[in-house]
Structure 1
Amino acid sequence: PASRPAGVEAPPVAADSSPTPAESPAAESTGGPTLVLCPTSLLGNWEREFARFAPEIPVRRFHGGSRHLDDLAPDEVVLATYGVLRRDRETLSEVDWGLVAADEAQHVKNPLSATAKELRKVPARAKVALTGTPVENRLTELWSIVDWTTPGLLGPLDRFRRTVARPIERDRDKEVTERLAATVRPFLLRRRKSDPDIAPELPPKTETDRFVPLTAEQTTLYEAVVRENLAEIRESQGIKRRGQVLQLLTELKQICNHPAQFLKEPHGALAGRSGKLGAFEELLDVILDEGESVLVFSQYVQLCRLLERRLKERGLPTEVLSGDSSPSKRQDMVDRFQAGEIPVFLLSLKAGGVGLNLTRATHVIHYDRWWNPAVEDQATDRAYRIGQDRPVQVHRLIAEGTLEERIAEVLEKKRGLAESIVGAGEDWITELSDDALADLVRLGSG
């Protein structure tokens, strides 16, 4: 798609050279269906990009318990994750794909990994790899990606290590470096936001909505809370009704964040229970691998503490700034972040959303949504402010098919309207009719 759903700068692309432009699947209506592989957190983004730029093309997800490839149309696009690839590679291999695209292709940077091995077994007439980090640590990562898109171009892996990777990485051999660049250049398309000929009007702040699916546990909790609360709300009026609506919204937002927050499990297991947490960790890995620093905002201090515990489990240094932080502690954390000692800074929206200069950050993650976009913008401006000399990327995590997705649509429409419309926080939601409220919080797309 023209606007790619990724948390990195516009990516280099490696493509199979075998078809000429006139022969490529993109140029033939009979080229066969397309398979797009991506992290789970990007499934919704890809779906929306196709709906926006190519609404006539049928798109399906090959994901979840009911996934199938029955009645696949010749021009259909199938979206699948790398996890599904590992589990269902044999099923995917039964299709004669016209094109296979690997988004965030650094997921197959290890040629000996199960994901990379399974990917190589999927047949395709053409292949495209999308990534902003084709080389994160060593040149064999580039070999893995290029050898998938253009098999044999860089020779066998052992010979590549011996004659290319080692001379470049160990000896900084200029001649070998130039020869490698000349070899891969015809098969790489590199694009950066800073390139003057690419998008000169593109502002230095890029905002991305990342739609993530709920886990089975989240889905069960969400449906139960909606069912129980709507029954009570329909029987209530006035202040009592408004209070119950706010309680419903709070509980649903907590479920979307993580079941442990809603269930008040400060020491409960965290991994594998929340779609948002999984997407957050995937995004964080990309940001930290680039050597960047990130601000993470949530309106809930409890959620910040859960994230802090999860990051410490992974050995990642972090701090939490909340309303309980003393002025001296607050300044100490800011100074350490600005000095690069803390790459991940967790902040409660109200305590950390104003009055701080955190220009070390080039990424801002809004883990959950506030109903007034101006509050989010103010928090983002902790990084995107005078003194910031690098592009800032803003990521908003949105639970797909929930009230968060529908609120995101409302906020986008209302962002440019008068403050009086949504400036009162959640009050405008409490005044919705029973039917409108039920439609807002229902689970599912459409």
Structure 2
Amino acid sequence: MKVYTTQPFQVIYSLFEHEYLGYLFESFVVQVNSKKQLTLQHQNISSKNADEFASRLDKTDYKLIVLIDEIQQDAVFKKFAVKKSTLSEFFFKTYDPLKGDKALQENISHYIQVRMAKILELLKGKYTFIMGKDGEPTWKRIHVAEERATVLFHFRRNDDNTHYFPTIKYQGEKLEFQYQNAVLVCMEPAWLLLNDNLYSFEKQVDGKKLQPFLNKKFIMVPRNVEESYYRKFVAPLVEQFDVHAKGFEIKTERYAPQPQLQFSELPLSEPSPALFATNSREAEEEPELRAPSDADKIVFKLHFNYGDFTVGAQESKKISVNVEKTPDSYVFHRLHRDLDQEKFFLKELASRGLEIRNGKAVLDKPNAFGWLNNYAKALEELGFTLLQNQSEKNYFIGETSVTVGINETNDWFDIYGTVRFGPYEIPFIKLRNHILTKQREYKLPNGQIAIIPEEWFTQYLELFAFSEGDDELKLRKHHLSLVSDLQNGNLASVTMSRKLEKLREFETVEDKPLPAGFKGELRPYQKAGYNWLHFVQEFHFGGCLADDMGLGKTVQTLAMLQHRKENGAQSASLLVMPTSLIYNWLAEAQKFTPQLRILTYTGTYRNKTVSQFKHYDLVLTSYGIVRLDHEILKRYMFDYVILDESQAIKNPNSNTSNSIRELNSKHRLILTGTPVENSTLDLWSQMSFINPGLLGTQNFFKKEFLRPIEKLKDEHKTKRLHALIKPFILRRHKSQVATELPEKIEHVTYCKMTEEQEHAYEETKSYYRNKILKNIEEHGAAKSQFMLLQGLMKLRQIANHPRMADPTYEAESGKLGEVLRLTKTVVNEGHKVLIFSQFVKHLDIVRAALDERKITYAYLDGSTKDRQAQVERFQKDPNLPVFLISLKAGGVGLNLTAADYVFILDPWWNPAVEAQAVDRAHRIGQQNTVFTYKFITKNSVEEKILALQSKKLQLVTELISTDEAVIKSLTKEDIESLLS
């Protein structure tokens, strides 16, 4: 029946018993008559229609309605039914007496009980009724008791058994509840309906403890199960409730807590903590197997001793009970704990960095013993007892220190030192393998295990990694910065010569005069580079001149070589380079240092004898020749071995790298604009050539630098690597010498795909997107890199011109149209342009289009034989306006200052590669502003790559940026973005 809101009405709550779910409430609104009496006209109220009756509802009513909605059978069905079934099928199967789901029944019961408890707490002052059997919601009114009742549990131990029963009092008067048709409408905690009143209890009682006594006077416990019953059932009752006992004693105990901190290796699985132990033997735990992954962790457990009793700190109960069996009875020791004092001890531990939670704390072994060594004495003064599990290793706890000294000798730094663990003194070198292998445990002469402090693994790792010698530790002079760091960090006392002290404190490099035989001038920054080459030479360090392309590394090196000639160099220097650069070096040497006697050691018919070198100042050769003739070349002691484009030895395990390292010389120098091309390991290979041992062994470098920098993006390791190599690398960017160069202007030109091109692109993108993302879901991003590269390559090709991916494609490309339009404009205005692409196929398409339009061009890719001739044609011929170049073939050794426009047709991850292309034109000798146009196909993967470039290339801004590292670092979200 509908209740009208225009007339008086009342919200009421009606208690009923559900066939399966037990006692529940339902909410109703009931029409009120003119005499303010409830009528039979009523309707259900729920969250869905409550707002209709808002005029008579308060905040409590809204809360009650929501809770009551949640316990109705429909709500329970929706929450717990997993398989498709009807409501009746679900309840019938779940509550079947023989085959019912007991676990699900318990889950549902708990869900109901939690909400029933909240409902009952909110019902005070509300109209509450028992529902009639005909569904009438206002059949019988009941009331929620104003105060809470109390329960007293009685135990009477007789000769043969123990009687157990509860008594209930309300407002000091005993309630007769047995055999009175009382019911427990809620069990968790108990709510008792008795004589139309709902009673709750001061100490929340589990209804199961009262249920048996609704229709029973007492429970009898036979003597043969008495002890088990007392320990498992009676003791928790004594702990939580008021208990009256006859026939056994309940004894109250009060002591001051004494803290006990026990430490042991973290076990594989920890037992449930014993609430109480009467002596230390019971408190000890059985030794257990440790999980391998937890082998380096220590668990601290905090207990409190109260007299002869021990209680775990994880227990927060005010009272703890232990059962003692006497010859003729039992004593229940009811221990009152001093929780405030226990909290004081917990705070004392926390203030020293040990947070005890649930009675324990887990620390890494080094941190744990570092903490113990720091605070053991102070804790004992506070009253703590420190205990070690004697079934395990006997660990050393005490004062630990290390003293390290470093002395400079003629060619080395000698390292000595002593480590102290309490009374034991250990030679510093004994810790070498422990530090390098991160083995934290060191066995002392008395058999105890000392834990090496964690900070030593960081502070002395490089010292041990870079040092040489088996019986004595020695460092090479080029590790001066490491020695300085140790001294500055008070980690070592250092003694060194005044010359080396002066080097360590230098602020400026000494100015050196240019050699008389040098023809030409050096710009200020080039002169600074020339001075720096002398600086590293004077201290017998290897150097890396890593200026940006076009800044004149060649001329600075030639000036230094001329100085060596004029100052009595006793032997020739060897300059190794890619074959294509030998002509450039010869031409530059003839121009700037014509007095240098130069031998070109190349060609099939070269004279393979080192005796001829004495007649020359400089020997020019290629990496390929060194690889072939290294057995011959290593017989000669060169003045300098210089590597141009030294990234050629980036693979440290290649034959070329091994052959180069076998060469002998007084000095070593490398020249490169890109010290790192593919991996941080490129840097290790080149720095290990100029300064052997500077960065440790290859395995050490991979573990301590390459992986943290490239995989983990570890900024600290990045900075540390820079600090180690900084003294030996001189790198200037064009931005630093901008006043020396004409202006460079960059543009991004967006190209719209043609309709046919867009169709081809979307079709391919959809195919690869589904394939790649599915592969990532199944195998992870790491195992999807090849497929990702394959898909990206296909999409990049189509973004340029679909014919690159499909030779049968006959329609146009939006990018090609834009490139040809701008090329025609540039040529018509009398300018020259370099057009770079990473794809030879792309250059072929542009080439055919230029032929069709009768625009002449020079051409260079990896297969071009007359490389230098193509360069000279373009530089000298005013009627040759275009130079098509593959990015890989044109990346090094080209001087193309005749061009003042640079077109980059396809972007890729590494901006440094694109910068090299621009540097072909924007270098010393260029008189005009250089305009760079980067062509990006709109709504394609190229646009996404452009956006990701700045976000992803942050491995090491100055020296390290790798395509491979970027691909590996792409997240699933990045990949989805690229393919969206």
- TM-score with structure 1 length normalisation? 0.50
- Larger Rg over CA atoms: 2
Which protein has the bigger helix share?
1
Which structure would you say has the larger RCO, counting Cα contacts within 8 Å and 6 or more residues apart? 1
Which protein has the bigger strand share?
2
- TM-score with structure 2 length normalisation? 0.23
